Structure formats: structure tokens, C-alpha cells
């Protein structure tokens, strides 16, 4: 096992020293793209106070916890992909939640071994031990220039003074009304007499402001071992959960080596396990690199992308989990030779039926959650961060009167082999629940570099994150600008269910017919994703920050 890990590290290390040297140059400007204008503003405020991209990332994370609490928050976790300009190094900060020590493999099954409906989503047991506060403290201490206290200030002010309710959040409050009503404190903050407030209503979160203030004054220890920790554990247990003070005290972020791959002359720097995204992204690009798209028609091009998705998501279900618990054939899955083998099984004229794993049943589509932001500072430091509480407002439960929503990330485990989770993803032993284990994620914060430029990319969207990042990367490599990348219409295949889902406009009538003729089932889907992208063109030092037009975010270059 140890030897295996050593080999993996050597393999990654070799790649990481061979990434492009062009990024040593400094852009001289800052760019931020996030899902809310006030979060982008919070990041810029911290830059103006002398902070770097990493301080801005802390400020944006905290601000998003306030203004987009349905997507991420102090009760959640996430991944931060960093690029440090001074030594041209890439680092992956894994702040994924962990299963509490009292978690068991079958904790969401009844005595007959059947899945207890929604137990991994809407109960206090659904909450993993949060990583977001540890991540902010880690960034401030090891990479930032400003104290945590300073970078938390914009968020504290937003929580205290309030912000105007905007359409997307109002829609999600409407969708989650029953969930929110279960927590008197959540209902107090986000509902008005148990009803959804009007647009423009000022949402104030005094308890969250106080919690952020305490973390600022006392550091992240307050959250993991201090009074806050005690209060949260008591509240979780009172609500039927299984957290212990030891779970919080032992939580730590893990710095991992990002995965690095190649696609023609582009270098891909992306998320390693416990994200499945980077492995799948590199594999899909490896598969696609074997085709000359200039010689193929548009339908065949899309068919091949779909077949690459199908195979990568199949391997996700088969192999991937927490690297500290399961042995995974990462070198194999990301090896161009493995992709060459996969290409051999792809027919240009026929869809491959996804029939290797048991069929899956339909589950309700969840409203969009999770959030991504991208930052590039004047020195060339970068952050791509995707952070989450999983589904809308996580479990919907709050931890005491801290103003913190408990995540429902336990649903990202495979609660029973072959049974789909909220994103219809299946898994097996590799992603089974175990004490202190990190649940497999699809979050895929990514950097792409070529000799000509650089892309920072990521998005929320559950299982569709990986396919969205793939399409975005291909679009940018095709020469499109940041706004085009985030606006691009999307299509998706995840092996099971064996369906191509697509946004209106993603496929032409001709492409739809052609895919159907090949044997694909197709289903039009309402628009999805909330991508945040920064591009930097080295030749003319042109920098763009673009936020997905499907959301309310803002990209800003300064």
C-alpha cells in the first residue's frame, strides 16, 4: 500500500514540475468571478486592503456563506485548488466533510437492508463534520497576507446589516420552505411569518454574524474545540445526530497533490480524489485527444463526447472513493493508454448501452446548490474553489443558535451499493460509509494552461459538474472567451441512468436525430449549473472574469 502511494506521488510530482513556466508572469490585475456580486465585492475589498488571492478566497467563502447560504456555508466543506505564483506550485486543499466516528456502513438502511427514504438527506445524521472553517483558517495562515479576522469582516457586516433577497435565493427558499420550517432559527432568518419574503426583503443573520465574529476573534479553534464546537455537537445530538466533540477536534484539512494531465498542448491541473471530477476530466480528455474533430461532423463530435462521459462516469461508480480508505487505480484511469483502450470500444455510429450495473430508479431533481468561485490576483496567484453544503440549505437543520446550516453531505456516500443518491449517482464499496471517511465528490475546480493562456474554471451542479467542466474546457481550448464558456448550452451523460440530458439549444435537431439513430435516449432538462470562469490571454495580457448568465453572479477585473 505504502509503495503504491509513493509511486502515485512520484508520478504526480513528475508532472507537476513540468507544467508551463509562462504562468510565472504577473497579470498586474485582479479578477474575481463568484455567484453573488456581494461576494465578488468582498473579495475585491480584501484585495484593496493588501490581501492576495488567498485572502480574497477567505473573504469570498465567508461572504457566500451569508448571501448564498443554500449553496455553501460554515456547516459545509469544499475543495480549494491553489496556484502560488512565487514558486509556480499548485496545491489542492481538501476541506471535504468527514463521516463522524460513530457512522456505520448501513446507518441509512432499515433492519431489512432497505434504504430509509431521505434519511441521508433530511436528518441530523446526514451531516458530515464540516471543513469550511478549517479551510479558511488554513488559507489565511499558510497562504494569505491578512489575518483571518480581517478577511472575515465583509461577511460579518453582510450577516449583521443584511442583504436584499434576490430572485434565485427567493426561488430556493420557496422550494425549501418545508425544510426551513423545521428549524425555528432558519425560519426566522429566511421566512417572514413562515412565508417566503418578497424580493428585496432584507435578510439579516445576527446569529451567523456573531458566530463569524467569534471565529475571527478566537480563530478556527473556537469552531473545532471551543464553545461553538460544544454548542454544535449538543444541537446535532439533540436533533438525533451522532457528532461528538472528538469528531470536530480531530477534523483537519488535507493538502493533496493536484492531478495533472495533458490534452494536446494544454496542461490540466485539477481535483484529485476524494473528488471524482479530476480523474474523470483527465480520462475524458485523454479519450477525446485521439480524434481529429476537424474531420468529423458536429453530431459525431457530440456523440464522442457523450461516449467519453459514459465511460468516465462508469469508472467513477466502480473505483472511486476517499484515497485514505480505498486503493484506486488512478494511474491507470488517467493514463492515455487506458483511454486508447476505451476508444477501441467506441463506435462512431452507435451508442454503447450502459448495461453493466443495475438499473436505477428516478428521484426528484434537486434545486441547484453548491457554489464555485475563481480568483486571479495581480501577482498571478490563483484560486479555483468549489464549496458546498450539498443539497439546498444542506439538511435544512441548524446547529443550535449559531446560524449555521448542517450539511447533508452523507448522501454523497453510496449508502447502499447500486442505489442512486440525490444525483442518481451509484457507487460500491469504494464509496461506502466508514468512520472518519470523506464521501466521494464531483466538485472539479480546475486550471488549464497552454503556452498562450490560462483558464480557471468550476461550477456547482452535482453529478453534472464534471461534464460541465469538460464542455467548458473544450470550449475555451476551441478559442472562445470567458463569457462564451459560461454561457455554453450543456449536455450530459453519467453512465446510469442511460440517458443524454441536455439544455434547450445544446443539440441541434440534426444532432438529436443523429444521436437517436445511434441508439441514445435523450431528455431535455431545465438549465443547470452556475459556472465562474477567469481567462488570461498571455500575449495581450487580456483578463476576463465571467459569471454564468443562469445565475446572479458577477465577474470583475480590476
Q: CA angle at residue 213 from 185 to 74, to 5 degrees?
A: 55
Segment (H or E) for 386: strand 382-388
For the CB of residue 337, give the shortest distance to ligand DON in the complex, in Å: 28
| CA torsion, ordered 341, 342, 347, 348, to nearest 10 deg | -100
For the CB of residue 388, give the shortest distance to ligand DON in the complex, in Å: 5
Q: What beta strand segments (E) does 192-275 contain?
A: 202-203, 254-256, 259-263, 266-270
In terms of Cα–Cα distance, which of 475, 459, 453, 92 is closest to 285? 475
Q: Which is nearer to ligand DON, 60 or 466 (CB)?
A: 466
Query: Does 368 contact ligand DON by CB under 6 A?
Result: yes
Read off φ and ψ for residue 542, nearest 5 degrees: -85, 125
Q: Residue 475 is placed in which grid cell?
A: 470550449
Specify which residues 428 forms β-bridges with: none
For the CB of residue 550, give the shortest distance to ligand DON in the complex, in Å: 12
Q: Residue 125 is placed in which grid cell?
A: 445524521
Q: Which is nearer to ligand DON, 412 or 520 (CB)?
A: 412
Q: Which is nearer to ligand DON, 40 or 441 (CB)?
A: 441
For the CB of residue 316, give the shortest distance to ligand DON in the complex, in Å: 10
Q: How far apart are the first and last CA of the chain?
A: 48
Q: Which is nearer to ligand DON, 97 or 247 (CB)?
A: 97
For the CB of residue 48, give the shortest distance to ligand DON in the complex, in Å: 31
For ligand DON, the binding residue among 388, 414, 431, 501 (CB under 6 A) is 388
Stretch that binds ligand DON, among 162-170, 179-187, 365-373, 374-382 (CB under 6 A): 365-373
Q: Which is nearer to ligand DON, 211 or 494 (CB)?
A: 494
- x/- mask, ligand DON, residues 168-207, rule CB under 6 A, reads ----------------------------------------
3-state SS of 437-498 is CECCECCCCEEEECCCEEEEECCCCCCHHHHHHHHHHHHHHCCCCHHHHHHCCCEECCCCCC
- What Rg do the C-alpha atoms of the chain give, in angstroms? 22
Decide if 370 is catalytic. yes
For the CB of residue 411, give the shortest distance to ligand DON in the complex, in Å: 8
Are the CB atoms for 289 and 337 separated by under 8 Å? no
Ranges within 389-448 binding ligand DON (CB under 6 A): 390, 409, 412, 441-443
For the CB of residue 443, give the shortest distance to ligand DON in the complex, in Å: 5
Omega of the bond prior to 99 within 30 degrees of 0, cis? Answer: no
Residue with cell 503556452: 451
Stretch that binds ligand DON, among 39-47, 162-170, 308-316, 362-370 (CB under 6 A): 362-370
Ranges within 452-471 binding ligand DON (CB under 6 A): 460-462, 465
Question: What is d(CA 402, CA 297) in angstroms, rounded to the nearest whole number?
Answer: 56
Question: How many CB atoms sit inside 10 A of residue 46's CB?
Answer: 30
Question: What is d(CA 332, CA 420) in angstroms, rounded to the nearest whole number?
Answer: 26
For ligand DON, the binding residue among 369, 374, 395, 431 (CB under 6 A) is 369
Helix (H, G, I), strand (E, B) or coil at 369: coil
Question: What is d(CA 490, CA 505) in angstroms, rounded to the nearest whole number?
Answer: 8
Are the CB atoms for 52 and 377 separated by under 8 Å? yes
Q: Annotated catalytic residue: which of 30, 98, 270, 370?
A: 370
In terms of Cα–Cα distance, which of 199, 226, 200 is closest to 211? 226
Question: What is d(CA 428, CA 105) in angstroms, rounded to the nearest whole number?
Answer: 11
Could you list the residues that contact ligand DON (CB under 6 A)? 368-370, 388, 390, 409, 412, 441-443, 460-462, 465
Residues taking part in catalysis: 370
Amino acid at each position: 500500500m505504502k509503495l503504491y502511494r509513493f509511486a502515485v506521488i512520484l508520478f504526480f510530482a513528475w508532472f507537476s514540475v513540468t507544467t508551463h513556466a509562462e504562468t510565472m508572469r504577473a497579470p498586474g490585475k485582479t479578477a474575481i468571478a463568484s455567484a453573488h456580486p456581494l461576494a465578488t465585492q468582498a473579495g475585491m475589498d480584501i484585495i484593496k486592503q493588501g490581501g492576495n488571492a488567498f485572502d480574497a478566497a477567505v473573504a469570498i467563502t465567508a461572504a457566500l456563506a451569508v448571501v448564498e447560504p443554500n449553496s455553501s456555508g460554515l456547516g459545509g466543506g469544499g475543495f480549494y485548488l491553489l496556484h502560488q505564483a512565487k514558486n509556480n506550485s499548485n496545491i489542492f486543499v481538501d476541506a471535504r466533510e468527514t463521516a463522524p466516528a460513530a457512522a456505520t456502513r448501513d446507518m441509512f438502511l432499515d433492519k431489512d437492508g432497505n434504504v430509509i427514504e431521505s434519511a441521508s438527506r433530511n436528518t441530523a445524521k446526514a451531516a458530515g463534520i464540516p471543513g469550511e472553517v478549517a479551510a479558511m483558517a488554513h488559507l489565511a495562515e499558510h497562504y494569505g497576507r491578512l489575518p483571518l479576522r480581517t478577511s472575515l469582516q465583509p461577511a460579518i457586516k453582510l450577516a449583521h446589516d443584511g442583504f436584499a433577497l434576490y430572485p434565485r435565493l427567493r426561488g430556493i427558499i420557496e422550494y425549501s420552505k418545508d425544510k426551513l420550517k423545521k428549524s425555528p432559527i432558519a425560519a426566522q432568518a429566511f421566512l417572514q411569518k413562515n412565508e417566503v419574503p418578497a424580493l428585496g426583503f432584507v435578510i439579516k443573520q445576527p446569529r451567523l454574524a456573531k458566530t463569524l465574529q467569534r471565529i475571527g476573534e478566537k480563530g478556527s479553534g473556537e469552531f473545532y474545540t471551543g464553545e461553538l464546537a460544544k454548542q454544535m455537537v449538543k444541537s446535532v445530538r439533540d436533533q438525533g445526530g451522532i457528532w461528538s466533540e472528538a469528531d470536530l477536534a480531530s477534523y483537519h484539512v488535507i493538502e493533496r497533490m493536484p492531478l495533472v494531465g495533458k490534452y494536446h498542448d494544454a496542461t490540466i491541473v485539477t481535483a484529485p480524489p476524494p473528488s471524482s471530477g479530476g480523474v474523470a476530466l483527465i480520462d475524458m480528455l485523454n479519450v477525446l485527444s485521439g480524434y481529429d474533430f476537424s474531420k468529423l461532423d458536429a453530431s459525431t463530435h457530440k456523440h464522442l463526447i457523450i461516449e467519453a462521459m459514459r465511460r468516465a462516469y462508469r469508472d467513477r461508480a466502480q473505483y472511486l472513493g476517499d484515497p485514505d480508505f480505498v486503493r484506486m487505480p488512478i494511474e491507470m484511469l488517467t493514463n492515455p493508454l487506458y483511454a486508447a483502450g476505451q476508444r477501441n470500444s467506441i463506435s462512431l455510429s452507435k451508442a454503447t448501452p450502459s448495461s453493466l450495473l443495475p438499473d436505477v430508479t428516478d428521484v426528484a431533481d434537486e434545486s441547484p446548490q453548491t457554489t464555485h468561485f475563481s480568483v486571479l490576483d495581480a501577482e498571478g496567484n490563483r484560486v479555483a474553489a468549489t464549496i458546498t453544503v450539498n443539497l439546498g440549505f444542506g439538511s435544512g437543520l441548524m446547529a443550535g443558535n449559531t446560524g449555521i446550516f448542517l450539511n447533508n453531505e452523507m448522501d454523497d456516500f453510496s449508502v447502499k451499493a447500486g442505489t442512486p443518491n440525490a444525483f442518481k449517482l451509484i457507487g460500491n464499496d469504494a464509496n461506502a460509509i466508514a468512520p472518519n471517511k470523506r464521501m466521494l465528490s464531483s466538485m472539479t475546480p480546475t486550471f488549464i494552461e497552454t503556452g498562450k493562456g490560462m483558464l480557471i474554471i468550476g461550477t456547482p451542479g452535482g453529478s453534472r459538474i464534471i461534464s460541465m467542466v469538460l464542455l467548458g474546457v473544450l470550449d475555451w481550448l476551441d478559442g472562445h472567451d470567458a463569457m462564451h464558456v459560461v454561457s455554453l448550452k450543456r449536455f450530459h451523460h453519467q453512465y446510469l441512468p442511460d440517458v443524454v440530458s441536455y439544455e434547450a439549444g445544446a443539440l441541434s435537431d440534426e444532432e438529436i436525430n443523429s444521436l437517436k439513430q445511434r441508439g441514445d435516449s435523450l431528455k431535455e432538462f431545465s438549465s443547470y449549473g452556475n459556472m465562474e470562469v477567469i481567462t488570461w490571454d498571455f500575449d495581450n495580457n487580456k483578463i476576463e472574469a465571467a459569471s454564468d448568465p443562469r445565475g446572479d453572479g458577477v465577474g470583475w477585473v480590476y
